[in-house]
């Protein structure tokens, strides 16, 4: 028998196989780049630290510390599931395996919506900062929507190429973001901050009834502080979505998830402490108040001017554009992989499972392009101003996405428990597959409540219909997915049986040793 060619002479990669992505394309560093850029460390710090300070005053580092612990506990059960189930379907597949196809498909459609909304939201944010940064440096004033078109076009081009190229682009942007924030940290610590160093910002008790928040804003809101912290990790769970394209999916999922959760957590606590120390305990709240009053574009910019130099501020202004683009592209890629998984299983049109010669999910990617473009267009028509791109598209949309993500994460926690009590009983462990998921469920459900209760304050939108209906939209999409599953069960049982069932086969190396096998 003649062996099939191992590579395509035209591309240098394995020949395309219908319904399969490019296995072995990504190592651990590349997966980490894809995940951590989705969390957007620079954007998270520039936007979420002020929000956390608004709610918890100088205790924002403590809020990030609490979120780090909660998400690490959630990750314990999540990783146990990753080691058993490997598919580009991620959350969708996990819920299906643990709680059944009906709930699984409901979560699948909801998670697709969330990631496309995130991609659109960050595209709007990128457009705003690109417009203001270019105008500041060159005097050329173009509307944000021009840059949104350019950014979405670039994402679409990258999507056609091999996933490794995307990972490299994300990696360069990520390293630059981290470096500029670390340079700020060195400057603040070397100078001793505004009032010296204090342990008070790290005390979780100070999140509640914080004196600085009450003095400067008139009131504090622990819920706002904690929600802003949880918000900063959106995207950390992406590892399973890239499992089919990694060289060792089971082990890489564990390392990438823990690495991103704990690594980001330590980094967020550090930078939020740098922010508070640089301004001083009460000064940090005053700086946020000045930002919200429009006196400065970001409360971080005066810090870089004071402790590092104007060059660092200029660099930060540029990197918030490139970082936002990288973040949007990470969400774009994850959206495409969810659509790809649903198309491959026959839930959505099978055309979505088509791959390019480089084995990228090209049809699913172009579908994401169209849907994100239409979503952005609706917001641009509603408010075409640059401020609208940031304060409406870039601020309202993440509330919808985060609520959906947190709700599905809570469902995943329940699915993990049931999966290991039934299907994978030999893998049941008291801590990792029961207690940790229970605690994870409590944390995610609590964060959902914080978002819904505080959504008007977080959006700054008064009684806007989008914000008022937000929880009902999330529920409606989830119920619609369940309804589709019930229709498939009654009319198309074969397609129904495929929901959430695809799994990557283990790959053997040239010596015959399985890669990615669960010990």
When pLDDT is cut at 50, 70 and 90, the band that residue 36 belongs to is low
pLDDT, tens only, 231-287: 787 767 665 555 555 555 556 667 777 877 888 899 999 999 999 999 999 999 999
Average pLDDT score, the chain: 82
Show the beta-strand stretches assigned E in 34-127: none
- Poorest-pLDDT segment among 203-217, 383-397, 458-472: 458-472
When pLDDT is cut at 50, 70 and 90, the band that residue 326 belongs to is confident
Residue 6 phi/psi, 5-degree rounding, is: -85, -20
Domains present along the chain, CATH in parentheses: 28-501 (1.20.1740.10)
- Poorest-pLDDT segment among 27-36, 128-137, 155-164, 319-328: 27-36
- Distant-in-sequence, close-in-space partners of 356: CB < 8 Å, separation ≥ 6: 16, 160, 362
- CA 64, 456, 213 angle in degrees (round to 5)? 50
pLDDT reading at 448 higher than 80: yes
pLDDT reading at 294 higher than 60: yes
Query: For residue 454, with 0-12 CB atoms within 10 Å meaning exposed, 13-18 middle and 19 or more buried, which class applies?
Result: buried
CA distances from 419 to 77, 104, 338, 378, 485 (A): 11, 13, 21, 41, 20
Query: What number is the average pLDDT over the span 56-78?
Result: 91
Query: Residue 113: its pLDDT value, please?
Result: 92
**Cα(295)–Cα(291) distance, integer angstroms:** 6
When pLDDT is cut at 50, 70 and 90, the band that residue 312 belongs to is very high
- Model pTM score: 0.81
When pLDDT is cut at 50, 70 and 90, the band that residue 33 belongs to is low
pLDDT, tens only, 125-177: 899 889 988 988 888 889 999 999 999 998 888 877 655 555 566 667 678 88
When pLDDT is cut at 50, 70 and 90, the band that residue 366 belongs to is very high
Query: What number is the average pLDDT over the span 500-508?
Result: 56
Query: Residue 513: its pLDDT value, please?
Result: 37
């Amino acid at each position: 028998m003649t062996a099939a060619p191992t590579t395509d002479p035209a591309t240098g990669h394995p020949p395309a196989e219908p319904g399969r992505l490019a296995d072995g394309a990504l190592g651990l560093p590349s997966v980490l780049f894809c995940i951590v850029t989705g969390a957007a460390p620079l954007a998270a710090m520039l936007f979420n630290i002020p929000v956390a300070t608004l709610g918890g005053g100088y205790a924002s580092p403590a809020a990030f510390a609490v979120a780090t612990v909660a998400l690490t506990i959630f990750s314990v059960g999540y990783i146990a599931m990753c080691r058993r189930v490997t598919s580009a379907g991620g959350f969708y597949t996990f819920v299906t395996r643990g709680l059944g196809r009906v709930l699984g498909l409901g979560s699948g459609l909801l998670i697709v919506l969330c990631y496309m909304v995130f991609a659109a939201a960050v595209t709007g944010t990128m457009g705003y900062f690109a417009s203001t940064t270019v105008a500041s440096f060159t005097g050329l004033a173009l509307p944000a929507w021009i840059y949104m078109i350019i950014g979405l076009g670039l994402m679409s081009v990258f999507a056609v190429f091999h996933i490794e190229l995307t990972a490299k682009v994300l990696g360069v942007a990520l390293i630059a973001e981290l470096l500029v924030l670390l340079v700020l940290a060195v400057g603040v610590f070397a100078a001793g901050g505004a009032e010296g160093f204090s342990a008070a910002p790290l005390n979780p008790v100070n999140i509640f009834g914080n004196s600085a928040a009450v003095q400067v804003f008139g009131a504090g809101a622990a819920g706002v502080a904690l929600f802003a912290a949880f918000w900063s990790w959106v995207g950390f769970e992406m590892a399973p979505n890239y499992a089919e394209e990694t060289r060792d999916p089971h082990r890489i999922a564990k390392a990438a998830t823990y690495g991103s959760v704990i690594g980001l957590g330590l980094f967020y606590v550090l930078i939020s402490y740098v922010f508070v120390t640089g301004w001083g305990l009460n000064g940090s709240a005053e700086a946020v108040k000045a930002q919200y009053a429009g006196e400065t574009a970001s409360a971080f910019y005066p810090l870089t001017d004071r402790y590092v130099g104007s060059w660092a501020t200029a660099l930060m202004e540029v990197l918030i554009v490139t970082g936002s683009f990288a973040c949007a592209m990470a969400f774009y890629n994850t959206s495409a992989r969810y659509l790809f998984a649903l198309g491959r299983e026959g839930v959505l049109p099978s055309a979505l499972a088509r791959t390019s010669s480089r084995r990228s999910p090209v049809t699913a990617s172009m579908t994401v392009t169209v849907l994100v473009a239409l979503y952005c267009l609706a917001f641009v028509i509603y408010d075409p101003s640059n401020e609208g791109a940031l304060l409406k598209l870039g601020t309202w949309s993440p509330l919808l996405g985060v609520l959906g993500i947190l709700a599905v994460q809570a469902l995943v926690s329940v699915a993990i428990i049931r999966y290991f009590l039934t299907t994978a009983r030999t893998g049941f462990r008291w801590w990792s597959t029961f207690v940790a998921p229970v605690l994870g469920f409590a944390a995610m459900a609590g964060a959902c409540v914080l978002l819904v209760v505080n959504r008007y304050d977080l959006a700054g939108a008064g009684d806007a219909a989008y914000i008022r209906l937000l929880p009902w939209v999330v529920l409606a999409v989830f119920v619609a997915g369940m309804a589709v599953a019930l229709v498939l069960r009654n009319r198309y049982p074969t397609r129904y049986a495929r929901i959430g069932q695809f799994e990557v086969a283990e790959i053997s190396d040239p010596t015959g040793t399985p890669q990615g096998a669960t010990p």
